[in-house]
Structure 1
């Protein structure tokens, strides 16, 4: 072995990496991204869960209890309603994660040591369910009612007066939360990569010039290239659904058609993003590298692996740009809470807007590159 020839090859590779800006960005970007995301954005200690309040007693004691609950920083009041039914409706739509119900006879229940407060929790997320249990530890200061014998100062209500009721996943089975999210993870990973690599592969093989010479418009060419992958995405969705129901008994409480409509939105969004990446990538290797830049934040910030509510506000704003974030809310709302797609219209609107922007940018960049 010649050290001189070996050193020449090493220098060649270093110079080639220096010219390849995407590879250089991956070398620096992935460690920085992982450090920032895991060190700053990921927080398993949930705080400030969106909560709905139904204070039917509306007394000084009930208001003091709510202030004590808010002081724990576990919940943040986001909605005030009059009835528990309204809280359940908001819980199903995903507008809140926790609901606090204080009945009209709160004072009597508190004094008699009976269940005085009920905390309703969206149990489809087991981490949220675990965090909400902390609310049951908030003390109720017992005070005597009129004409009753006085209690000793500082007496605390009996344990169990604040009950936590988990809906949609009372057994706290992780598979019920994970399997619907896996649909989004698989579609994000495969659809973006397949589309980005497919377009670049045509360019590398010299087939793109032949396609341009045909009467096809650029929009027809790009949409026609990605339609087969949309079918593949639906096959993957069906496979995950069937295996999830068969192996893990994952329920589909909503409409299966709504699940497929949500999946089509995510598939289209990822295909549009893959097209945009393909207009920038110069090779298949670069396309896969750029796909990693999309996939890594998606899996970490969307709420699939780590609770969305535990992230800093700035990171939550960034996560709102990712299509996987909105799909997870859609698919979990439909499959686990039985919501209909029009009840989750903000997530549908966000995905439609993402598709429109990405597809427009991809077509504009594609035309500019071919002229």
Structure 2
């Protein structure tokens, strides 16, 4: 009896894989999600300062002002000399992220020891570059003024020397973070899409009724979808991690991949159950897509991948403990970034086991009721 159930689950899962193989749209989505999407997230969505347009209004036309003007160059800035009457209009039009105004008699005031001010306007709507760029501009101006006046770029001396060491990402490279986090997010997203789409496709084609007249149970139908779609996502995630993250982007991954993918498997058990549950709640594929967006976007935003959970309100911190992505992000970052072992990440694994069992039971109950209603 038990062997027959295993055989039914295996054969039904093979049917799911064959149906997926004959769906070119889904195949393209899988390939794109774990190749182009990962590379784009790692390289295009950078938080560092890169090619920021800056307008420079030099009203002094002195040696010092020219030194400051020439200090802004690519790849950090794209300098553009302009006139004072166009500076504000250019920022209003979104042409400049920064606008630097060097006033008349600036060099004379600096050499005379008088208070000299330089105006820097920052377009704060461009948050990814505004704060970083403002700090860069301040450092550049201070360095140039110090070297011109004191013939030394050292701005000030501190009684305490600060030694900063960036661990786990010593170069502070955005690619290290963006590429791995994209894989983590795509595992949850793709598993929900594939499982839910498979169930809705069967319902639209009328094959669910055919399954119910066969000697198979609702549990066997669900398990077949869970293992087949989880296998596809695991293979795609492994391929993306090896080919895109490690080979193309040259991001070192020092953690135990076997432990990471075991955590991914537990997460997939929960997210595929979510996909089945959402599919039973939906009457069509567009409705399923809308429901998935309402669930998936908050899960990814509040799981700790974009913003540390410690920075969120306490209510959200406790509420997101029920989300599998919260614990997957926690264990994935610990394993892949910090080479953590099972002795450190075991609480996350325990949470995932409980959440996966709960989600599977709720989805099984809902699927069973839906099938009985249909029959």
Cα-to-partner distance string for 1:45-82 (whole Å, 9 max, x where unaligned): xxxxxxxxxxxxxxxxxxxxxxxxxxxxxxxxxxxxxx
Matching of residues 70-149 of structure 1 within 5 Å: none
Equivalences for residues 345-364 of structure 1 within 5 A = 345-364=346-365
CA contact (8 A) 2:269 2:360 kept: no
Structure number, greater radius of gyration: 2
Alignment match, 1:286: 287
> Whole-Å Cα distance in 1 between the matches of residues 275 and 190 of structure 2?
10
1:214 maps to: 214
Structure 1 runs not aligned, ≥5 long: 1-43, 45-129, 131-155
- What 5-or-longer segments of structure 2 have no aligned partner? 1-46, 48-131, 133-156
Q: Does 2:195 correspond to 1:195?
A: yes
Structure-1 separation of matches of 2:274 and 2:342: 23
Q: Which residue of 1 aligns with 2:108?
A: none
Contact 1:188 1:270 in 2 (8 A): yes
2:278 equivalent in structure 1: 277
**How big is the shift at 1:240?**
2.0
- Give distance in 2, aligned partners of 1:275 and 1:187: 16
Quote the offset at 1:221 in angstroms: 1.0
Q: Name the CA distance, whole Å, in 2 between partners of 1:190 and 1:238.
A: 14
Cα distance in 2 for partners of 1:157, 1:184 equals 42
2:332 corresponding residue in structure 1: 331
The aligned residue for residue 228 of structure 2 is 228
1:206 deviates by 1.2
* Cα separation, 2, equivalents of 1:225 and 1:202: 11
Q: Deviation at 1:363?
A: 0.8
2:334 alignment partner, SS class: helix
- What SS does the aligned partner of 2:254 have? coil
Question: Residue 3 of structure 1 aligns with which residue?
Answer: none
* TM-score normalised by L of structure 2: 0.55
Distance (Å, rounded) in 1 between the aligned partners of 2:371 and 2:313: 42
Task: Say whether the 8 Å CA contact 2:234–2:261 is kept in structure 1.
Answer: yes
Q: Deviations over 1:71-110 (max 9, x none)?
A: xxxxxxxxxxxxxxxxxxxxxxxxxxxxxxxxxxxxxxxx
Distance 2:191 2:167 in 1: 33
How far did residue 209 of structure 1 move?
0.7
Asked if the contact 2:302/2:309 (under 8 Å) is kept, the reply is: yes
Secondary structure of the corresponding residue to residue 282 of structure 1:
coil
Correspondence 1:9-48 to 2 at 5 A: none
1:59-78 pair list within 5 angstroms: none
The one-character-per-residue Cα deviations of 1:15-69 (angstroms, maximum 9, x if unpaired) are xxxxxxxxxxxxxxxxxxxxxxxxxxxxx9xxxxxxxxxxxxxxxxxxxxxxxxx
Secondary structure of the residue that 2:171 maps to in structure 1? Answer: coil
CA deviations 1:208-258 (Å, max 9, x no partner) are: 111011000110011112322111111221122111011222222221211
Query: Is the 8 Å Cα contact of residues 252 and 334 (structure 1) preserved in structure 2?
Result: no
Aligned mates of 1:251, 1:330 — CA distance in 2: 17
Alpha-carbon offset, residue 157 of structure 1: 7.9
The answer to whether the 8 A contact 2:276-2:363 is kept is yes
For 2:250, the equivalent position in structure 1 comes to 249
TM superposition shift of 1:342: 3.7
Structure 1 length normalisation: TM-score?
Answer: 0.55
Aligned equivalents of 1:286 and 1:348: distance in 2?
A: 32
Alpha carbons 1:201, 1:283 under 8 Å: kept: no
Does 2:175 correspond to 1:175?
yes
Runs (4+) of structure 1 exceeding 6 A deviation are: none
The RMSD of aligned alpha carbons is 2.1
**Distance in 1 (alpha carbons) for counterparts of 2:173 and 2:323:** 27
Q: Does 1:304 align with 2:305?
A: yes
Matched length: 217
